[in-house]
Amino acid sequence: MFLNDNLKIFSGSSNPSLAIEVCKYLGLPIGGSKISTFPDGEKLIRIEDDVRGRDCFVVQSTCRPQDEHLMELLIYLDCLRRASAKRITAVMPYFGYARQDRKDEGRVPITAKLVANLITTAGADRVLAIDLHAHQLQGFFDIPVDHLTGELVLSRYFRDKKIPDLSVVSPDVGNLKTAARYAGHLNGDLAIVHKKRISGSQVQAGELIGSVEGCNVLMCDDIIATAGTICTAAELVKERGAKKVYVGVTHGVFAPPALERLAKAPIDEIVVTNTIPLTEEAKQIKKIKVLSVAVMLGEAIKRIHRDESISALFGQEAY
Ligand code: R5P
Question: Hey, where are the domains in the chain?
Answer: 7-150+294-315, 151-291
Residue whose CB lies within 8 A of the most ligand 1 atoms, among 100, 204, 229, 262, for a mutation test? 229
Residue nearest to atom 6 of ligand 1 (CA): 229
277/167 Cα distance (integer angstroms): 29
Give me the pLDDT at residue 312, please. Answer: 83
Confidence at residue 316, expressed as pLDDT on a 0 to 100 scale:
57
Task: Name the least confident of 51-65, 194-208, 221-235.
Answer: 194-208
Q: Which of 195, 264, 289, 302 is catalytic?
A: 195
Interatomic CA distance for residues 38 and 45, integer angstroms: 11
Is 195 an annotated catalytic residue? yes
Q: CA 100: distance to chain centroid?
A: 16
303 CA distance to ligand 1 middle (Å): 31
Domain 7-150+294-315 carries which CATH code?
3.40.50.2020
In angstroms, what is the span from residue 161 Cα to ligand 1's centroid?
A: 25
Residue 276 · residue 18 · CB < 8 Å:
no
pLDDT at 1 over 70: no
Hey, what CATH class is 151-291 in? alpha beta
Task: With beta carbons less than 8 A apart as the criterion, state whether 10 and 56 touch.
Answer: yes
Contacting residues for 200 by C-beta, under 8 A, at least 6 apart: 226
Where does ligand 1 bind, in terms of residues with CB under 6 Å?
99, 172, 174-175, 201, 203, 221-229
Residue 170 pLDDT grade (very low, low, confident, very high; cuts 50, 70, 90): very high
Domains 7-150+294-315 and 151-291 share a fold: yes
CA of 225 to the centre of ligand 1 (A): 6
pLDDT digits (tens, 9 = 90+) for 136-161: 999 999 999 999 999 999 999 999 99
Return the ligand 1 atom nearest residue 200 CA.
13
Give the residue whose CA is nearest to atom 7 of ligand 1: 223
DSSP string, the chain: ----TTEEEEE-SS-HHHHHHHHHHHT-PPPPEEEEE-TTS-EEEEE-S--TT-EEEEE----SSHHHHHHHHHHHHHHHHHTT-SEEEEEESS-TTTT--S--STT---HHHHHHHHHHHHT-SEEEEE--SSGGGGGG-SS-EEEE-THHHHHHHHHHHT-SSEEEEESSGGGHHHHHHHHHHHT-EEEEEEEEE-SSS-EEEEEEES--TT-EEEEEEEEESSSHHHHHHHHHHHHTT-S-EEEEEEEE---TTHHHHHHHSS-SEEEEETTSPPPHHHHT-TTEEEE--HHHHHHHHHHHHTT--SGGGGG----
How far away, in angstroms, is 229 Cα from ligand 1 center? 6
Ligand 1: residue of 102, 194, 223, 272 to mutate (most ligand atoms within 8 A of CB) is 223
pLDDT tens per residue across span 47-92: 999 999 999 999 999 999 999 999 999 999 999 999 999 999 999 9
Under 8 Å between Cβ of 275 and 61: yes
Question: For residue 317, what pLDDT is reported?
Answer: 53
Count the neighbouring beta carbons within 10 Å of the beta carbon of residue 273: 27
Probe target for ligand 1 pocket from 170, 222, 267, 276, with the most ligand atoms within 8 Å of CB? 222
Distance 172 CA to ligand 1 centre (A): 8
